[in-house]
Amino acid sequence: VIELLKSPNYNMLQKSTPDIYFAGNGISSDALTEIIAMIGERDFSVNVISKSGTTTEPAIAFRIFKELLEKKYGKEGARERIYATTDKAKGALKTLATKEGYETFVVPDDVGGRYSVLTAVGLLPIAVSGIDIEKLMQGAAQEREEALSKGLESAEAQYAMSRQKLSDAGKHVEILAAYEPSFRFMAEAALRRVGRQGPDRHFPGLRRSHARPALHGAVYAGGQKNASGDGRLLRQGQNVDRRSVG
């Protein structure tokens, strides 16, 4: 969403919002070292995203950045810069967040990870980038209502029926091409939602990203110190303070 509504080169643009680096989607030490080097001596905060808190990749990354935060700001200062998006009541990360006093956001029980971009999982980093998440949610709700009101005449239903009819006719190959760099994660979204349903469903020609940033966490470098204001407004559904998190 950040790439689509802002720019694929978001971190390289001159802006008043923090840079956003996604970590915890792999176990590459080179990748983590590179992010640490890009942050340098700037102020930074961490949003760790994990429903259970036991997934290996984000757990490793979080331990590293937590240690860096505590070394830079002390344990009390680090506490104000760590935000945990996790289960509302249980899990290793929820237990740690409660014990340490981290501000928390909830991963809904009834929303799967690949569909969670319009929950706190995605909305917090999206808000950090300066995107108006209230308008984003209004647009999503409007599109949903329009699709439901049109029923079988909606573009979504027409696409689904056409696709099923072609599949029944033995045409199982579908190509989704996006020529705008800001749409590059559309291919990953298609693979996640459809491409893994069976061995006969493939998307040749799609660029597949190995990163899954919305599920694992983000590091915000630069900007203001405390995100508690954004957090409260996010929960209440009010306008998000455009002061940056960092």
pTM greater than the 0.85 cutoff: no
Question: How buried is residue 23: exposed, middle or buried, by Cβ count under 10 Å (0-12/13-18/19+)?
Answer: buried
CA–CA distance, 117 with 192 (Å, rounded to integer) = 13
Instruction: Answer for the pair 205, 4: CB distance below 8 angstroms, yes or no.
Output: no
In this prediction, residue 225 carries a pLDDT of: 42
pLDDT tens for each residue of 174-216? 777 777 888 877 767 766 665 555 444 444 433 343 344 444 5
Judged against a pLDDT cut of 80, whether residue 165 lies above it is answered with: yes
Q: Is the dihedral of CA 78, 23, 115, 18 positive or negative?
A: positive
Instruction: State in Å, rounded, how far the first CA of the chain is from the last one.
Output: 19
Q: 53-81: per-residue pLDDT in tens?
A: 999 999 999 999 999 999 999 999 999 99
Question: 87-138: per-residue pLDDT in tens?
Answer: 999 999 999 999 999 999 999 999 887 789 999 999 999 999 999 999 999 9
Length of the chain: 246
User: What is the structure's pLDDT at 64?
Assistant: 96
Give the start-end residues of each E strand in the chain: 19-22, 44-49, 82-86, 103-106, 217-221
Spatial distance between the Cα atoms of 166 and 4, rounded to a whole number of angstroms: 30
Q: Bigger pLDDT: 45 or 226?
A: 45
Q: What are phi and psi of 104, to 5 degrees?
A: -120, 155
